[in-house]
Amino acid sequence: MKGKVYIVGVGPGDPDLITLKAVKVIQQADVILYDRLINESLLNFSKHGDKIYVGKGIGEAWKQDKINDTLVKEAEAGKIVVRMKGGDPTVFGRGEEECLHVSRHGIPCEIIPGVSSAIAVPEVAGIPITSRLVGASGFAVVSGTRVSGELDPDFIPKKGTVVILMGIHDIEKVEKALLMKRKRDEKVAIIENGTLPCQRVIKGQLKDLTKLVKENKVRSPAVLVVGEVIDLSFTLK
């Protein structure tokens, strides 16, 4: 009898932001596949499941095909398989690719939504992503990493808030694309290790984005925010 695969979003870093449904599924798991962006304390919810680290950092050994095949292999052995993903599984998380792959092998698959870093990281840093106070009535979430090449400026709106994920390692190209659609003096915020105690927030102007990232030695994971909402920044004490 075949098992089942759960593609589970576990939130942006702070373990308290995981959902109750995600916890329940993890507790039932026979096998857990997790990557480098997972807060490893979340693995403690599983008392008996085998844990498999699959990497997924730039240059790391596990390729997507190998992850897909492992999900199928474990589920075909009759196991409950949990694929833990940071943030939400289908916000640039390839959760849909993995679910489609196992489904094509006749294995049931369910996606468990997670709190996306695109929204949670700016909020925890004190930056709302929409606000009528500054006329930010919409937002766009854009990936700074594309299989086909550079970030396409067509995905960047001229108004509203822009949130860019996975853009730090290619920051020059990200800045170039943003400047094709946005004003040079617009406010920008760089949030490193968002929602965690070691979180850093660096603010400046869009024209200085690359300089800010390099001078402050910003490392992944980091979220970029562009827009007037940055003027509304608040800090909780």
Q: What is the 3-state secondary structure (H, E, C) of 133-156?
A: CCCECCEEEEECCECCECCCHHHC
Q: Which residue type occupies 212?
A: L
Would residue 21 show up in a list of annotated catalytic residues for this protein? no
Which candidate in 84, 85, 166, 187 is catalytic? 166
The answer to whether 166 is a known catalytic residue is yes
Q: Respond yes or no: is residue 56 known to be catalytic.
A: yes
CB 163 within 8 A of CB 122: yes
Determine which one of 4, 56, 85, 187 is catalytic: 56
User: Annotated catalytic residue: which of 4, 35, 84, 88?
Assistant: 35
Phi-psi region of 149 (alpha: psi -120 to 50; beta: other; left: phi over 0): left
Instruction: Tell me the CA distances in angstroms from 122 to 98, 101, 134, 153, 165, one per residue in order.
Output: 28, 33, 16, 22, 11
| Helices of type H across the chain | 20-28, 64-76, 95-104, 117-124, 171-179, 209-215
Is the peptide bond between 153 and the residue preceding it cis, with omega within 30 degrees of 0?
A: no
* Structure-block tokens of residue 203: 């603010």
Q: Which residues are catalytic?
A: 35, 56, 166
